[in-house]
Amino acid sequence: MTIRILLIDDHTLFRSGVRLLLQRQPDFEVVAEAGDGVEGLKRAKELKPDVVLLDLNLPGLSGLETLQLLTQDLPNCAVIILTVSEEADELGQALRDGARGYLVKNIDADALVSAIRRAANGEAVIADSMTAKLVEQFRGQASQTPPPPGSAERHRLTARETQIVQWLARGASNKVIARELDVSESTVKIHVQNVLKKLNLTSRVQVAVYAVERGLYTEE
Q: Which percentage of the chain shows pLDDT scores above 90?
A: 54
Residues 63 and 163 in one domain: no
Residues 18 and 114 in one domain: yes
Residues 176 and 92 in one domain: no
DSSP state of 25: S
Residues 9 and 104 in one domain: yes
How deeply is 70 buried, as exposed, middle or buried, from its count of CB atoms within 10 A (0-12, 13-18, 19+)?
A: buried
- Name the nearest CA neighbour of 76 among 33, 44, 103: 44
Higher pLDDT among residues 148 and 175, named by residue: 175
Residues 114 and 13 in one domain: yes
pTM, rounded to two decimals: 0.69
List C-alpha distances in Å: 170 to 128, 129, 153, 166, 207.
Answer: 11, 14, 21, 7, 10
Which domain covers residue 168, as residue numbers?
146-213
pLDDT of residue 88: 76
DSSP state of 61: S
- Res 149 pLDDT > 50: no
When the pLDDT of each residue in the chain is averaged and rounded to a whole number, the result is 86
